[in-house]
Structure 1
Amino acid sequence: MGYRQISDYSIIGNDDRCALVGTNGSIDWCCFPTLASSSVFGRLLDAEDGGHFSIHPTDSYDGEQRYYERTNVLETSFETSSGRATVTDFMPVSERDRRDGFQHSLYRHLRCEGGQLTIEVDFKPRPDYARADTTVENRQKGIVVNADGGEQLHLQQFGPLSVEPLEGRAVGTALFEAGDDVWFVLQHGHHHPVSPSECRQDEKETIAYWRRWAADIEDRAADIADSEPWYEEIVRSGLVLKLLINEGTGAIYAAATTSLPEEYGGRSNWDYRYNWIRDAKFNVQALYNLGQENAAHQYFEWFRDILRTDPAEIQPVYGVHGEEELTERQLDELDGHRFSTPVRIGNAAADQRQLDIYGAIVQAVYETLRHDEHLDNEDWKAIRRIIDYVCDVWDEKGCGIWEYRDEARHYVHSKLLCWVALTRGIELAEYSQDDVDTERWETERDALRKAIEERGYSEAAGSFVQHFETDETLDATCLLLPIYEFLPAEDERIQATIDTVMDELLTDEGLVHRSRGPDTRSEGPGAFLFCSFWLVDALVLADRVEEARDVFTNVLDHIDSPYLLSERIDPRTGEFYGNFPQAFSHIGLVNSAIYLRCASGDASLEHDPLTEDGLQPIFRT
């Protein structure tokens, strides 16, 4: 079997675990015991040897997917010429205390809904990214998988179809008639005997858990969507973000996968199973706007630990459990998705110098303090250290938000975020109990503004540009200038920048490319979804609301139910690229919906960007 399109997959999971299930009923990506662990099923990255767990009819069929309403419980339906069947997939979660290892499990329930059809099951685990020597045996407790290093899996099965070991996998086929059903329960690192009645109870509790959680965001999503037709997309975005949040630390995975290519045949295949500092400001904004104050508070606590680190030692990216060592390695044993190599685990961006991270941290703190958090003396000392450090280094070069690995440059976005750090620091000082001398901060802030305005804007391009060393390379990050209040949206240079982005980076299909110019690497065919949402926000601020709505609806036209977003979409073919599902894209969708809602002038959202003076950036003074 070959590779499927990324858009053919949907996600299931629970706290710190996820799996991708294709419309063909195959689990082609799943890592245990955490989302950032090595894969057990990895056909997404190697069609032959990566491993999978597939359930599907033997005859030709049509496959579709849907989530049980307001849950992350997935149903894949099959229809053949002779019958209909469904597979329900979920990772268990409950609000009551359960046994150790309860969540380290995956449940699959196959049932024949009508007629009759023959079903084939192929269970082919390949632990440790298919590198481990693995045995699959039938024992009294069910199918037992042992891999080098001690990793163990147990598969229990109940019903008229059983799988038997065959050359490193377990396979089985059976004829199903209406009403027949079978349960498969996969447990990692533990074995707890279950029964069909327990499986049904665990499914019931999992559905109830998700619906209780979704109830907390439904009213907010309805307020955000108002009369617009994107309520379901907002709710699904919230459910995806919930899957990507580690409940133990509050940190957020950027995506559930590694090495899904930005373009086929290129080398831009990265591991996104980490928490990026640059996402902080947008994460806080989205969580509050979805009414997830507890999640925002926990995320803030995660930042407190980083905040108190020596500024020179703060990394652009961390593991969600606080890991600092993210050594990047290539897995030459895997072919890569659609043969796009290398396959990477770890991320060398952790060792890069990205000056924008300081503004992201201070802005996230600033935004959180607008609600009901507070800074203690140690927090304030840490912020002051960061601001002093920014004064020392803002005029140096770095790798930038896009983490280019070649030449370091004076990226305009990095300078903007340094300006944000200084500006917010000065504002925070006004509310502190200390008598803080901000003279140097103000001096450096003014110097930064002058540098950005004089060296970051190109009359020839009619736009702010990507970095100080160019007059023509464009970058969608310049759309953030009015969002961060560096300049008002009505400023003629901002208006010109928006127009240039729409002329040069916006496709006919309404999607925005990340950058364009003679000194940028190939962006491939895909447009970067978060950049499209930045354009929506900038247009709303510029009082160009109908244009903003057009861009927003054009993005949504490229996704179908169940409304999962990748990093990029090819405007011509609609094909998804990059790691999936992408938190950054879902956060952008939620936040842009907020802007559009507030542009109506009658918004009553608690955390909206509407003030008495009119529409303002969400991150505002």
Structure 2
Amino acid sequence: MSTRIEDYALIGDCETAALVGRDGSIDWLCLPRFDSPACLASLLGDETNGRWKIAPADDAAKSQRAYRDDTLILETTFETPTGIAVLRDFMPLRDGSSNIIRIVEGIQGTVAFDFEFMARFDYGQTVPWMAFEEEGIVTAIAGPDMLILHSDVPLGGNDARVIAGFTVGKGDRLTFALTFCSSYMPRPKPVDPEAALLETERFWREFTARCPDVDGWAGPVKRSLITLKALTYMPTGGIVAAVTTSLPEKLGGTRNWDYRYCWLRDATLTLLALMKLGYYEEASAWRNWLLRAVAGAPEQMQIMYGVAGERNLREWDASWLPGYEGSKPVRIGNAASEQFQLDVYGEVADALMQASKGGLPRHPRGQAIGDVLMPFLERVWRDPDEGIWEVRGARQHFTYSKVMAWVAFDRVALMAQDLGDDDTARRWREVADEIHAEVCAKAFDPALNSFVQAYGSQALDASVLQIGMVGFLPPDDPRYVGTVEAIERHLTRDGFVLRYRTGDTDDGLPSDEGVFLACSFWLADALDLVGRRDDARALFERLLALSNDVGLLSEEYDPVAKRMLGNFPQAFSHIGVINTALNLSRRKGPAEERSDANPAVSVELGA
């Protein structure tokens, strides 16, 4: 049986990442970038698709794990009848090459360990040539890629796998290092594992030391902040949605997507999370990535890009992989990048305004993007689109898409007004008012007393919770209060929120996915917004309790099977942790903070 999603932990070097199971097996690793082909891919198959396992020889060994305080250094403690040992896993920031370091230390008695390394390049497909060089050094080569394994113990085996056995006693420390490089270039200098451990610990503790205490939620906020940093591609500032592809929204299902890319939709909430915690350097890097990615004609703007802003994210099927617990297909790339989603224009506009309000220095391209973005949006806001949930069907007039178009025009009008540009303010306010009137007339269902997913629909959709968050309606408007109550009554399982309501099942709820954690955080925000603070805090605490033992969250959760679902760890979920904690800790509501104009700053959106 596959390792459960929640039984994995994350290590990374801010350019790529790996997933480590409770059993000491690294089952997912893409090199040299988040979106590169995996060289360890048993996560989506079995051990023959690549893994690196260091674990006690006694299969009955007990394990307990935690991150070293305020770091991304994973420590797994194994206990056997004969002794106790700790396995430390981490990835140091790069100095010319990517490395995974594993250190085994004996704590008490003696513990016998088994070592197995099976490299498979090209997403678990290609068996490399293994060369056993001097004692403790093995290279794995396939085409342009090379892995170099340095070990403090002798290694044996063949092309299929590298094996070893060793025993540690109290005070013993054995180190293992895996280095990735190009097969046709000079080999990088071997990393010093002990020095790398100290430097990695210093980096993460200096990073987290800047994080303020958030109303008693410092632990989950810091862990979520560390996770967002780990999901950041440091050379560009882009933040991937997750480090995995094709972890299913339903076990055995087909809704398996590649999330190793950067979504524009995450822009505003990510910026707010980083700036409110005082991480302006990271916020600026994300804003700069955003501006580079969207550069060009506005009609060519995509909803997602590669970590360096790549546009070609062609989707294909890695047919040789059986998928996580048989969930096929295994998709590489994401065809949703070719969809038209109207809301992203509002997200970009809002993100640029939030960056300006938050005090980030003006970007020289901000004004130019605004000059072409707003007139284009004026022409296309009436068109149907694929919507926030990237439905692979006919386009519709999705409510959230229209609301976010309103956000763009509303923000520009407010800022122009405060800067004394009355003509620009009047022009964009007229468009905003037109959108507002249409949404209120066509997207609100009096019988449900709620806004619905799309014009003419009776389906509920969690995205309309944002109507109050972005200031489209005041939180005490009966239509918004009714929407919150309708979603709470009809769009929840075990108190957690699904993305939308369909007619697929007897209860009208979708049968092919779990509850969506980001939407559940939105409900907590909405409950707080409408004055139900105790209910909001209770839901927030229940959501935090869904985190695994090292504080990580996936995209979705199955409240019946009590299992995580979807790609992991999920940036959107951890952004929810940070922003909801902030919302519950401050006096001013999220709608006020996102829509208040500040005349002291300049506008990066043009007429």
| TM-score under structure 2 length normalisation | 0.93
Match of 2:577 in 1: 589
Q: Decide whether the 8 Å contact of 2:273 with 2:578 is kept in 1.
A: yes
Match of 1:188 in 2: 180
Corresponding residue SS for 1:111: strand
Is the alpha carbon distance of 1:329 and 1:579 closer, same or farther for their aligned partners in structure 2, counting shifts above 3 Å? same
Corresponding residue SS for 2:143: helix
Deviation of residue 142 (structure 1)? 4.7
Between stretches 430-439 and 270-279, larger displacement belongs to: 430-439
| Residue identity matched to 2:480 | I
Between stretches 261-270 and 85-94, larger displacement belongs to: 85-94
Q: Decide whether the 8 Å contact of 1:308 with 1:379 is kept in 2.
A: no
The answer to whether 1:477 aligns with 2:476 is no
Corresponding residue SS for 1:254: coil
Task: Specify which of 518, 523, 531 is matched with residue 503 of structure 2.
Answer: 518
Deviation of residue 207 (structure 1)? 0.7
Deviation of residue 141 (structure 1)? 7.6
| Residue identity matched to 1:258 | T
Is the alpha carbon distance of 1:162 and 1:193 closer, same or farther for their aligned partners in structure 2, counting shifts above 3 Å? farther
d(CA) in 2 for partners of 1:206 and 1:180?
A: 21
Corresponding residue SS for 1:189: strand
Is the alpha carbon distance of 1:306 and 1:182 closer, same or farther for their aligned partners in structure 2, counting shifts above 3 Å? closer
d(CA) in 1 for partners of 2:81 and 2:135?
A: 37
Deviation of residue 112 (structure 1)? 2.0
Q: Decide whether the 8 Å contact of 1:485 with 1:620 is kept in 2.
A: no
Corresponding residue SS for 1:332: coil
Is the alpha carbon distance of 1:138 and 1:501 closer, same or farther for their aligned partners in structure 2, counting shifts above 3 Å? same
Task: Specify which of 511, 520, 523 is matched with residue 532 of structure 1.
Answer: 520
Corresponding residue SS for 1:474: coil
Corresponding residue SS for 2:497: coil
Match of 2:478 in 1: 492
What does 1:175-254 correspond to in 2, within 5 Å? 175-189=167-181, 191-192=187-188, 194=190, 198-217=192-211, 220=212, 222=213, 224=214, 226=215, 228=216, 230-254=217-241
Q: Decide whether the 8 Å contact of 1:307 with 1:383 is kept in 2.
A: no
| Residue identity matched to 2:169 | E
What does 1:243-322 correspond to in 2, within 5 Å? 243-322=230-309
| Residue identity matched to 2:51 | H
Task: Specify which of 583, 592, 600 is matched with residue 616 of structure 1.
Answer: 592
Deviation of residue 46 (structure 1)? 0.7
Deviation of residue 548 (structure 1)? 0.5
The answer to whether 1:348 aligns with 2:335 is yes
| Residue identity matched to 2:193 | C
Corresponding residue SS for 1:365: helix
1:442-466 deviation digits (Å, cap 9, x = unpaired): 3322221111101111112221111
The answer to whether 1:449 aligns with 2:448 is no
| Residue identity matched to 2:567 | N
Q: Decide whether the 8 Å contact of 2:449 with 2:479 is kept in 1.
A: yes
Between stretches 15-24 and 517-526, larger displacement belongs to: 517-526
Task: Specify which of 533, 541, 544 is matched with residue 553 of structure 1.
Answer: 541
Q: Decide whether the 8 Å contact of 2:138 with 2:150 is kept in 1.
A: no
d(CA) in 2 for partners of 1:275 and 1:320?
A: 6
| Residue identity matched to 2:527 | L
d(CA) in 2 for partners of 1:617 and 1:506?
A: 28
1:375-434 deviation digits (Å, cap 9, x = unpaired): 467532421321111111111111001000111111000000111111112223335687
Gaps of 5+ in 2: 598-607
| Residue identity matched to 1:319 | G
Q: Decide whether the 8 Å contact of 1:515 with 1:523 is kept in 2.
A: no
Q: Decide whether the 8 Å contact of 1:39 with 1:128 is kept in 2.
A: yes
Corresponding residue SS for 1:515: coil
Deviation of residue 143 (structure 1)? 3.8
Deviation of residue 170 (structure 1)? 0.3
Match of 2:490 in 1: 504
Q: Decide whether the 8 Å contact of 1:511 with 1:554 is kept in 2.
A: no
Corresponding residue SS for 1:216: coil
Task: Specify which of 295, 315, 326 is matched with residue 328 of structure 1.
Answer: 315
Deviation of residue 167 (structure 1)? 4.5
Deviation of residue 302 (structure 1)? 1.7
Task: Specify which of 321, 342, 348 is matched with residue 361 of structure 1.
Answer: 348
Q: Decide whether the 8 Å contact of 1:258 with 1:272 is kept in 2.
A: yes
The answer to whether 1:5 aligns with 2:20 is no
What does 1:373-522 correspond to in 2, within 5 Å? 373-375=360-362, 378-430=365-417, 436-470=423-457, 472-508=458-494, 510-518=495-503, 522=510
d(CA) in 2 for partners of 1:182 and 1:376?
A: 49
Task: Specify which of 144, 157, 162 is matched with residue 154 of structure 2.
Answer: 162
1:111-133 deviation digits (Å, cap 9, x = unpaired): 22112232100000111112224
Is the alpha carbon distance of 1:163 and 1:521 closer, same or farther for their aligned partners in structure 2, counting shifts above 3 Å? farther
Is the alpha carbon distance of 1:261 and 1:378 closer, same or farther for their aligned partners in structure 2, counting shifts above 3 Å? closer
Between stretches 72-81 and 111-120, larger displacement belongs to: 111-120
Match of 1:605 in 2: none
Corresponding residue SS for 1:44: helix
Is the alpha carbon distance of 1:377 and 1:345 closer, same or farther for their aligned partners in structure 2, counting shifts above 3 Å? closer
1:51-74 deviation digits (Å, cap 9, x = unpaired): 000011121111121111110011
Q: Decide whether the 8 Å contact of 1:143 with 1:154 is kept in 2.
A: yes
Task: Specify which of 562, 567, 570 is matched with residue 579 of structure 1.
Answer: 567
| Corresponding pairs, count | 589
Is the alpha carbon distance of 1:131 and 1:375 closer, same or farther for their aligned partners in structure 2, counting shifts above 3 Å? same
Q: Decide whether the 8 Å contact of 1:483 with 1:617 is kept in 2.
A: no
| Residue identity matched to 1:594 | L
d(CA) in 2 for partners of 1:590 and 1:262?
A: 23
Between stretches 144-153 and 453-462, larger displacement belongs to: 144-153
Is the alpha carbon distance of 1:523 and 1:381 closer, same or farther for their aligned partners in structure 2, counting shifts above 3 Å? farther
Match of 1:118 in 2: 112
Q: Decide whether the 8 Å contact of 1:485 with 1:617 is kept in 2.
A: no
Q: Decide whether the 8 Å contact of 1:17 with 1:35 is kept in 2.
A: yes
Deviation of residue 374 (structure 1)? 4.9
Is the alpha carbon distance of 1:378 and 1:28 closer, same or farther for their aligned partners in structure 2, counting shifts above 3 Å? closer
Match of 1:604 in 2: none
Deviation of residue 179 (structure 1)? 2.7
Deviation of residue 525 (structure 1)? 4.8
The answer to whether 1:130 aligns with 2:116 is no
Is the alpha carbon distance of 1:618 and 1:432 closer, same or farther for their aligned partners in structure 2, counting shifts above 3 Å? closer
d(CA) in 1 for partners of 2:109 and 2:559?
A: 40
d(CA) in 2 for partners of 1:31 and 1:364?
A: 30
What does 1:41-80 correspond to in 2, within 5 Å? 41-59=40-58, 60-80=60-80
Corresponding residue SS for 2:354: helix
Deviation of residue 150 (structure 1)? 2.0
Match of 1:36 in 2: 35
| Residue identity matched to 2:129 | T
Corresponding residue SS for 1:415: helix
| TM-score under structure 1 length normalisation | 0.91
Between stretches 111-120 and 299-308, larger displacement belongs to: 299-308
Corresponding residue SS for 2:178: strand
1:580-599 deviation digits (Å, cap 9, x = unpaired): 0001000011000011111x
Q: Decide whether the 8 Å contact of 2:42 with 2:124 is kept in 1.
A: no
d(CA) in 1 for partners of 2:399 and 2:157?
A: 58
Between stretches 135-144 and 288-297, larger displacement belongs to: 135-144
1:493-519 deviation digits (Å, cap 9, x = unpaired): 1111111111112233x3111111227
CA RMSD of aligned residues (A): 2.0
Deviation of residue 619 (structure 1)? 4.6
Deviation of residue 618 (structure 1)? 4.2
Q: Which has the higher contact order (CA 8 A, sep 6+)?
A: 2
| Residue identity matched to 2:179 | Q
